[in-house]
Amino acid sequence: MKIFYSETHRKHEPPFEVFDGGLRVPYLENPDRMDKILDALHTMDWADIHEPTDFGLDPLLAVHDQDYMDFLASAWTDWLATNPQDSSTLLPATFALRRHPHKPKSLLGRAGYYMMDLSACIVEGTYQAALASANCALSAAESVAGGQRSAFGLCRPPGHHAGKDYAGGYCFINNAAVAANWLSSNGRVAVLDVDYHCGNGTQDIFYDRDDVLTISIHADPDFEYPNYIGYADERGVDKGLGYHHNFPLPAGTEDDAYLKTLDAALQKIREFKPAYLVVSAGMDIYADDPLGRIKVTTTGIGKVAQQIASLELPTVAIMEGGYNNDALGRNILAFLGELK
């Protein structure tokens, strides 16, 4: 199986994120995640790891607004130019309500306009790392468009919380959406998001489209991040109506209940008859994830992938979340082992 990975992710290493109550905690979405996955992949003879191709900005601008991309490109330089007291990471303290906000010129004003929370911390190498991550997704898509049964974008930073014009939840560029949109010029695409958190960015990007079906299975936003999106009654809009499905799950959901929900999601995909499948593969559904409250075991993760593989669709898997670094290697092997 071809796996696309770039060392450039190491340039994105924010010093902390801010949790509930204003708590500064070490950044959970850290470079060590990739080292743990690579260590595991290196023990497998089927793991064929490649550098991504540079696809340039056009496929990214096909899903993200130009002014948002401009913000990402210049945010760090603009941040330093404000002579901040603590320059270690760009993080705003105000956020724009989406009711007709003005877009201010100030850097922190724009940061709050383009960010949804306090976990999409920008540092010097964030933009470069985000571009390389998107190229890993595009390279995996290209490989599958070229006839491979499956490929894996070992993307960092992750992408599924990033919308058309916003960053959030460790995500800046929506890698899965970029790959799905790129593939959609060759036929219908289904995106299945099995990360613990709702794929709100992917939902946002494809919400009015009927050529890309988006499905997310996740912890109920009534108790979990991202809180305001990911409810079962959100089904798409305009011609996209009926082409989005959320499957919110209660805390404590175990393997059997998860797999039953997955089966219902896969039925929607079968009915849609896509040419390609993109899977947002977050490993934070794992029982011992520090951010998660769903209880899927490593064996369960293998069964998730097995059910997905039973669709027999050309499949692009994209790395999303997963924060129990010690379990990440075996969870990714359990997942990819069924898709390879």
Active-site annotation, residues: 161
Report phi then psi at 276, rounded to 5: -135, 155
Choosing from 5, 225, 243, 247, the residue that interacts with ligand SP5 (CB under 6 A) is: 225
On the 0-12 / 13-18 / 19+ scale of CB atoms within 10 A, 79 is: buried
Closest by alpha carbon to 139, among 157, 153, 158, 159? 153
Q: Decide which of Zn ion, ligand SP5, none touches 20; Cβ closer than 5 to 8 Å per partner kind.
A: ligand SP5
The distance of Cα 144 from the centroid of its chain, to the nearest Å, equals 19
Closest CA to 118 of 252, 17, 223: 17
**How near is the Cβ of 285 to Zn ion at its closest, in Å?**
8
Nearest-angstrom CA–CA distance, 182 and 302: 28
Cβ proximity to Zn ion: between 160 and 340 the closer is 160
Give me the least distance between CB of 35 and ligand SP5, in Å please: 18
Angle at 262 between CA 257 and CA 265, to 5 degrees: 135
Site map for Zn ion, 249-288, x if CB under 5 A? ---------------------------------x-x----
* 102 to 131: interface string for ligand SP5, x by CB under 6 A: -----------------x------------
HSE at residue 215, side-chain half, CA atoms within 13 A, is 25
3-state secondary structure of 91: coil
- Please report whether residue 14 would count as binding ligand SP5 according to CB under 6 A: no
Contacts with Zn ion in 164-203 (CB under 5 A)?
Answer: 195-197
Question: Closest CB to Zn ion among 69 and 318?
Answer: 318
Position among 13, 255, 284, 289 found at the interface with ligand SP5 (CB under 6 A): 284
Cβ contact 158:170 at 8 Å:
yes
Q: Return the number of the residue (283 or 308) whose C-beta is nearest ligand SP5.
A: 283
DSSP 198-247: --HHHHHHHTT-SSEEEEEEEE-TTTSTT-SS--TT----GGGTTSEEEE
Radius of gyration for the alpha carbons in the chain, expressed in angstroms and rounded: 18
52 binds, among ligand SP5, Zn ion, none (CB under 5 to 8 A by kind): none
Q: Which is nearer to Zn ion, 59 or 226 (CB)?
A: 226
Residues 155-214 that bind ligand SP5 (CB under 6 A): 158, 161, 169-171, 195, 197
Pick 107 or 155: Cβ nearer ligand SP5: 155
Interacting residues with ligand SP5 (CB under 6 A): 19-20, 119, 158, 161, 169-171, 195, 197, 225, 282, 284, 291, 320-321
